[in-house]
A = this chain, B = another copy of it.
Amino acid sequence: MATDASKNPEIRNITWHHAAVSREDRERLLNQCGTVIWLTGFSGSGKSTIASALDQMLIKSGHLTYILDGDNIRHGLNADLGFAPEDRAENIRRVGEVASLFADAGLLVITSFISPYRRDRDRVRGIVGPEHFIEIHLDVPLEVCEQRDPKNLYKKARAGEIKDFTGITAPYEPPETPELKIDTSTCTPDAAARCIVDYLRRRNITYCSGDESSCI
């Protein structure tokens, strides 16, 4: 900077304060309420596919979304974590903290993790704030997931090649009072995503600005 104001005590001792931009400012800009949409369910229950379908529906209507899943978390932020019970808990804790930051930034953040333990999910609800947390249980019979087995993980688990596999050799604790429960053995991924979109509208998490294109 060219100005030689370093000798000017008024600038050198300037009051270093600024009113912060608030969550509400960002939500107003985005025309939505920052929210964590937490998908939970067995491997093969449709979490990733529904997250992707939901992501597309919302962005097409002008809403800003972001997916947190194993792909962008396990290879980056949580690359230092394994699959021991304490590592799984720390994995979900960090995801919860990051999801909370995204919601604070005004985004609709969709998370896609098995997250089998009630305690871990409830902890995330506490971090995010219950009013900003939507728990969605993809409540599909285990046998349907095993039949789908898109990544051949159930086969490997049955063969003993994967230990502590949720539903086979490790527990899944279903949510007791999720905001939504969807059985994806009876509907398409698009129908499941539409069901979530309708819920967001009812809760006024997404809304119309008057411009029809922003209405979904």
Contacts and interface: CB of A to CB of B under 8 A. Distances in A.
Nearest to A147: B12
Contacts of A1: 182-183, 186-187, 191-192, 195
A48 B16 CA distance: 9
Given A1-B187, A13-B148, A76-B97, 10 more contacts: A1-B182, A1-B183, A16-B189, A17-B49, A19-B56, A20-B55, A26-B66, A29-B59, A29-B62, A76-B127
Contacts of A65: 21
A52 B18 contact: yes
Given A11-B188, A18-B189, A98-B101, A6 B144 contact: yes
Q: Which of A17, A48, A105 has the most CB of B within 10 A?
A: A105
A185 interface: yes
Nearest to A44: B16
Interface residues of A, number: 61
Copies assembled? 2
7 contacts: A1-B192, A12-B147, A18-B53, A64-B105, A76-B97, A77-B98, A101-B102
Interface of A: 1-6, 11-14, 16-21, 25-26, 29-30, 46, 48-49, 52-53, 55-56, 59, 62, 64-66, 68, 72, 76-77, 94, 97-98, 100-102, 104-107, 127, 144, 147-148, 150, 182-183, 185-189, 191-192, 195
Contacts of A101: 66, 68, 72, 76-77, 98, 102
A100 B76 contact: yes
Contact of A49 (B16, B56, B191): B16
Contact of A56 (B21, B104, B195): B21
